[in-house]
Structure 1
């Protein structure tokens, strides 16, 4: 991909920064509101965002959700927990020489590895070097300790994870998160795949907050419509 086109793609993904008054940005704020009101008994602070398969828009969704939470005044940490095909460093134009894996392996402290973005209140923890054992690392005692540390430092923590039907990584984090959002792509995600993804989350006792329908075109064909809810 040519550099200019690549830059355009990154900018398009962060519509909540570049065009905060757009209908798409408003839908992300609607999802944020739905998340906040999804549980009356427990505050949602750790959130896993996943999908059934690849290229359904989960990384774009979680990045924009992180932005709208930060715009609300929350201190937000977006963690790229896709330790197989990480993308957050591309989206936010960062390097990926360190990140989650270097923190979990005790090579760096969280405060050193988390990078402050130009968006006020928003920090990014990229994946770091890709490990040979992603699932084992995410299911480790070090990850349990990490979950405790991040909640002391940030109001909202969002995890971008691999697709549910390819590896077990997302299930591991969904089990440890306050809530999980499943992203499906209109006209692309097969019903059976979505149902299997839901079952995979139920199997690990994940709290499913709702489904985000991605890439649903409105009549004018100019915007995409995002819906958050059960």
Structure 2
């Protein structure tokens, strides 16, 4: 099967010949049985396919994604469905979003929770109609409630039986999902290493329930925009989709007008939900976000956060 290798920034040193490179990789294998899968970069690859991978990498990100999608991005030694191999972590009680605390049960009865359930159903219908998977949650500026929206939407999606949702913390400069969901990011591999192909899917993605998995970011990454544009990142995410087969992957992204991180990642998204703060977002902010999105990715809707109670219509 076809496997991508990332060149140039390897921690290990490969010999110059193709045969030596393959032999060197065999010493770096993670056991393929039990609760482990192989890191993408260290997967055993025939010499001819290494050369083919080099050619695809040189062709650019679109070629990488197309090739991985065409063969499901899974090696013969990697199980096709990795969902059951993900390490489980029970969310702490200092959160009100995921099941496991009294606060969550109380929150379910609020208008806010019901609003997210309505958004969930509309989003599921839209992505199913178009065959979409990757959805970005963005805001014009910081402090609009982006992470709160992404976490609540993921929790609402996860309550649909027999569904699969993956929530990724791609707000790498100021990661906040671990704190929001009261999860321990130190129990997983590093996001940067996972995207580079050095950490296996099952050693990075955490499963909080039968229907929700999360990818956390433990430490800020100041070169987030470069990471998002790295072909290795695209290859790792494509392989993750192939291995976990999620219905929806939600990306909690940085503010669109503050950094170029989100703009760099737009080509990888199928749709975007824009979070607006009723107390700080201005019309010119929304207009600029729409201009940036224009022609690149569909704007699925604008979510108004912190709206005045008097402006909410009752039914």
Taking structure 2 as the reference length, the TM-score comes to 0.62
- Could you tell me which residue of structure 1 aligns to residue 17 of structure 2? none
Give the stretch that moved more between structures: 22-31 or 47-56: 22-31
- Could you tell me which residue of structure 2 aligns to residue 96 of structure 1? 185
| Greater C-alpha radius of gyration | 2
- Could you tell me which residue of structure 1 aligns to residue 303 of structure 2? 212
Q: Which has the higher contact order (CA 8 A, sep 6+)?
A: 1
8 Å CA contact retained: 1:14, 1:60: no
1:104 Cα deviation (Å)? Answer: 1.1
CA root-mean-square deviation: 2.5
- Could you tell me which residue of structure 1 aligns to residue 273 of structure 2? 181
Matches of 2:95 and 2:308, distance apart in 1: 20
Matches of 1:177 and 1:94, distance apart in 2: 26
1:13 Cα deviation (Å)? Answer: 5.9
Assess, with a 3 A threshold, how the Cα gap between structure 1 residues 114 and 200 changes in structure 2: closer, same or farther.
same
Q: Deviations over 1:99-153 (max 9, x none)?
A: 4212012331122111122x44111111243334211111111121122122221
1:164 Cα deviation (Å)? Answer: 0.2
1:184 Cα deviation (Å)? Answer: 0.1
Taking structure 1 as the reference length, the TM-score comes to 0.83
- Could you tell me which residue of structure 2 aligns to residue 67 of structure 1? 155
8 Å CA contact retained: 2:196, 2:236: no
Matches of 1:40 and 1:132, distance apart in 2: 35
More strand by share: 1
Uncovered stretches (5+) of structure 1, i.e. residues with no partner = 1-6
Matches of 1:175 and 1:59, distance apart in 2: 21
- Could you tell me which residue of structure 1 aligns to residue 238 of structure 2? 148
| Count of matched residue positions in the alignment of Structure 1 and Structure 2 | 213
